[in-house]
Amino acid sequence: MTTTVTGASRASGGVRHRRPRRTPVPFLAQLLIWAGAAGVLGLWWSHTTAVVGPAGWLTGAGRITGLLAGYACAVLLALMARVPLLDHGVGTDRLARWHALGGRCTVSLALAHTLLVIWGYSLTSHTGVVSETSTLVLSCPDLLKGTIGFLLFLATGILSARAARRRMSYETWHYLHFATYLAVFLSFGHQLSDGADFVGDRLAQAAWYALFIGVAALLVWFRFAVPLRRGLRHRMRVAEVRPEAPGVVSVHLTGEHLDELGGEPGQFLRWRFLARGLWWTANPYSLSAPAHPRHLRITVKSAGAHSAALAHLAPGTRVSAEGPYGGFTARRRTAAKVLLLAGGVGITPLRALFETLPGQVTLVHRARRTVDLALRAEIDAIAARRGATVHHVVDEPGGPASPLTAAGLSALVPDLAAHDVYLCGPPGMARAATGALREAGVPARRIHHESFAF
């Protein structure tokens, strides 16, 4: 069934649209990463006089992959340090994709390093691979710790695979990743003690220390010190928990100087509720209304133990928040017309954007049932107030459906190809919508996606 709500017509010709400037941050970040990798290869080159025979080639390749794996560990940690310049300039989703790709590369490099070095050393010493493995692990300084670090990396990589990740909660996945900190610590000592490119080279050692100490400082500051300081500054508490739809609640929060957080419509924060069973994890939830100096609101669907527990929060519960994060904001807009396309609780960040984006804005909210259309009343009120169009689309039996296809979307939104599209919903819906939008002629650069995946 399709329900359309159109507000009173309001001229939008007087709204000036200013084309946003492209940020150089993604390009500069990638340039810096590749420059560092080139520097690592230069380190190997400067310490290699000649490569002779199969053993030399295997050992040399093992040294290269080991250096690159160590460097990649630092890059991975830096990408997830929640540095505001990276997060706002690159975007949280994009950083997460870089991190996932980098994680697969790191595990592959570490595995290649281990196999190549053992194979090369076994050829040099004319021993079997198993015998050489035990000799290296038990005789080389810090190599036992390095082996434990490698096994931790391998386990994290396996558990981060999509098939395994779908079978665990966000909290479990999040805390398993803390094992990577231990893995990096154990591997760091092994590289400096056993790496031929570091032994006796004080400058190389100093550069490696500077790289990892710098990344550790970013992690400590942005992931621990800043949230603690903000918690003391803003003194946030739960004011009210209000049901919005089956399994969906809005958590209203009060505090001091909340405007200093700088949260823009479309962004999210990582919320830590200091209640029993919840204080140990910080989960990402989007703002579902524009920020106010004394009030904030998030709207959450029960999808796990943490999100389900929010429905039972007591007023007065202390709250700590990290952020705001994400580039899913008005700054991504490039066209005069905007379509906001939400699936289920994906309406959360789009509701805040719907209230604040200037010009001609259309909102399409898809859900399985009418009762699942969270925040519907206030969305309709916003549409009436600003003269915008809302399409509430549900798939209840007996009612006409609007398929998530190029033809279906074009029927709801005339001149669809001329729109910027902000898309937020479950992964399956997002993939189908992206394909339909591209088929309808919307350029990929105008499709802005906020992912629900972790």
Q: Is the pLDDT of residue 400 over 60?
A: no
Domain boundaries, the chain: 2-19+333-450, 25-229, 235-325
349: nearest Cα among 1, 95, 92, 172 = 92
Residues sharing a CB contact under 8 Å with residue 326, sequence separation 6 or more, in sequence order: 87, 88, 91, 92, 93, 266, 267, 268, 286, 450
Looking only at the bridges linking them, the beta strands covering 268-273 and 236-245 are unpaired
Confirm whether 2-19+333-450 and 235-325 share one CATH topology.
no
Question: Could you read off the pLDDT of 95-146 as tens digits, one per residue?
Answer: 888 988 998 899 999 999 999 989 998 998 888 888 888 888 777 777 888 8
Report how far residue 50's alpha carbon sits from residue 218's, in angstroms, rounded to the nearest whole number.
39
Question: Could you read off the pLDDT of 428-449 as tens digits, one per residue?
Answer: 889 999 999 999 999 998 999 8
HEC string of 67-122 equals: HHHHHHHHHHHHHCCCCHHHHHHHCHHHHHHHHHHHHHHHHHHHHHHHHHHHHHHH
Contact between 325 and 268 (Cβ < 8 Å): yes
Q: What is the pLDDT of residue 16?
A: 45
Structure tokens at 226: 């800043």
Q: What is the pLDDT of residue 329?
A: 87
Phi, psi of 421 (to 5 degrees): -125, 125
> Tokens 């429905």 identify what position?
311
Percent of the chain with pLDDT strictly greater than 70: 91
Q: What is the pLDDT of residue 41?
A: 93
Superfamily of domain 235-325: Translation factors (2.40.30.10)
| Architecture of the domain spanning 2-19+333-450 | 3-Layer(aba) Sandwich (3.40)
Contact between 234 and 294 (Cβ < 8 Å): no
Question: Could you read off the pLDDT of 39-91 as tens digits, one per residue?
Answer: 999 999 998 887 889 998 999 999 999 999 999 999 999 998 888 888 878 87
